Structure 1
């Protein structure tokens, strides 16, 4: 028999866990599998050969925040959101690589998403060269930073008396609502179910990387969690504070949380992969050079599926009336007319000549405002006969703040 693709059944879960562990170089324990599948299991599809599972792909359901349309009366309203599948647990047996199994899994998923009229699918990629050929485009930037706490503080001190250190039990009761408030403000931010929160608070020791259990700093309008890796060089402290989760829901919460972090005398370095590219933190510090960007990586990837629904779901910063042709090898090309602006958006199929033409992956890259249409055009990934039309659509797709998904999956 050849390779067959089918939806998974509950009896497949242990083999799925074994295969994923092999593919990613991990030994998943019985507890790991119980945590993964008993709390909130993904929906899986599997590739089988002679009855054995040789490939797998899954997805979670998320609500994803998308850019809105600020107005003079409401410069920062709650942003709209969109229900999307988040692709995860993608792996193929090392003995069955380069045989088209991954492609068949991805095509099976995409066909299901198209049949269900999903607006888009999202994922985070372990490798940068895999998913563009399936129509996914890198849609946001993940920034890693390191701050030498001993060299800086806040330029203008703030009242941080509202910040508390909460126990895990108390934090579990208040973090979900604070996260929901933060999520409504940030494009790309993903929802978390109650089951998802339960899993986050398991905080198993084997997943701490030699660091402490999580500590929770909580302000009435935001929070962050962190771990500590203790270290000493003779009498000098070399401990590192690693931010795990970061949801400052207001400017006052942001400043107060950072002032509290920067006052921790028994920490030398604060590091994070959660500080967005446009985070105001450098401008709050007495020395902006104390914050060093150590890496810029692709974060969330987005794959357009039902283009009219996707484009109509978000807001736009200025009025546009444009025909867009989206090139799509898997799902078929589509031409749509987008009429949008601060007052709302309407998008429907069109038969007229396109003003702008771009591949599905390129649309995925600009949709959340994480990358500019003009940049993709300069790279040959978008085409427009009228430069003025491209410039206007580029500005319409821009988003503030920068997208950040905030939840690993």
Structure 2
């Protein structure tokens, strides 16, 4: 097979849509194509055989919040291979080429969200955060302090009213949350398109806004022979303060026609179970991987964040594609430095293991037990685990 790789061009868009349609079992309209490529066009790399496009990968440019700072990262997306060319090294060639291009551009790390859990670990990506599906029986759930004046500052907004308000609330929220991604103006325009064919049979979005946060949701009718049992599905959940959290939930839990509230946007460390009168009613029905991280320049990635305790360690990072690195990391609450060194390694990370540890979403002791890292000094491992910990669970919040 004479495989060739090259940058994608607008002339490839029809074939890219065809591949994505075959991979994900979805037919795209001309409106879908215009929304995707005219609004927020990705940067593509394509694979061809005898001039025929047989594989593609792309990326969007994001800024990702990390503890104490931010990191420019490409978000890998649109990954597809023709069903007639599977198991022939097409995906490997595309992913390796993409990472080499990232390295040449000086990118510190790359991110993605995965359609399947077994694909991207072999390319150095490690699952760094978690998402969950939360289901709440609204009829049986209320805030424990029901008399509090929580909902007074909440406004109901139309889409037109929400468009100029939400971006600033989101910016302030994402600066608090490791793993959270920025949304540029084109991204916001895309989100507010709210095309009917992408609603899954539910309503257009409703918006509740507080001065320090907001949420959007859709509703599905279900009158159950005259008994109201509507479904509320939260689609965006941006909570910037405890006050906003209580206020927004007091309004939402007061919607008498709703039977069930569900979402995949409520972070795993959200305090809601501890604020309602029945802890069990905030049910987690599934937990899945969220953001995956691949260090490209491990030194730059480690130096970009702060650490809650002072740490000094020599870390070896195994990268079969770009080359192994041995790095002296010195960091603390005020910043960090990370430089190549010849000193003996005290901690050894697999590349995906470092990606999983980076945002604080997984305990280092757990990763060590799985073989994703090795440290022979238990005291150093404990210190390093504290250094990589965060006070908020990482959550990316923006699907791509």
Q: TM-score, normalised by structure 2?
A: 0.98
Match of 1:99 among 55, 66, 88: 88
Contact 1:67–1:400 under 8 Å retained in 2: no
Matched, 1:298 2:298: no
Is the partner of 1:232 in helix, strand or coil? coil
Mapping for residues 293-332 of structure 1, pairs under 5 Å: 293-332=284-323
Is the partner of 1:64 in helix, strand or coil? strand
Partners of 2:13 and 2:367 lie apart in 1 by: 41
Q: Which residue of 2 aligns with 1:73?
A: none
Matched, 1:54 2:72: no
Is the partner of 1:268 in helix, strand or coil? strand
Is the partner of 1:21 in helix, strand or coil? helix
How far residue 235 of structure 1 moved from its aligned partner, in angstroms, is: 2.3
Matched, 1:88 2:61: no
Per-residue CA shift, 1:234-278, capped at 9, x if unaligned? 122221100000101111001100111000001000001111111
Contact 2:47–2:94 under 8 Å retained in 1: yes
Match of 1:189 among 170, 180, 203: 180
Partners of 1:381 and 1:134 lie apart in 2 by: 14
Q: Which residue of 2 aligns with 1:119?
A: 108
Q: Which residue of 2 aligns with 1:5?
A: 5
How far residue 385 of structure 1 moved from its aligned partner, in angstroms, is: 1.7
Partners of 2:217 and 2:321 lie apart in 1 by: 42
Partners of 1:381 and 1:222 lie apart in 2 by: 37
Query: Structure 1 residue runs of 4+, over 6 Å off?
Result: none
Mapping for residues 150-189 of structure 1, pairs under 5 Å: 150-157=139-146, 158-159=148-149, 160-189=151-180
Matched, 1:373 2:356: no
Partners of 1:246 and 1:275 lie apart in 2 by: 6
Matched, 1:244 2:232: no
Partners of 2:249 and 2:353 lie apart in 1 by: 36
Contact 2:352–2:372 under 8 Å retained in 1: no
Q: Give aligned pairs, total.
A: 398
Q: Which residue of 2 aligns with 1:234?
A: 225
Partners of 1:385 and 1:123 lie apart in 2 by: 31
How far residue 343 of structure 1 moved from its aligned partner, in angstroms, is: 2.1
Is the partner of 1:173 in helix, strand or coil? coil
Partners of 2:227 and 2:341 lie apart in 1 by: 67
Matched, 1:204 2:168: no
Q: Let me know the Cα RMSD of the aligned residues.
A: 0.8
Is the partner of 2:246 in helix, strand or coil? helix
Where in structure 1 are there 5+ consecutive unaligned residues? 69-79
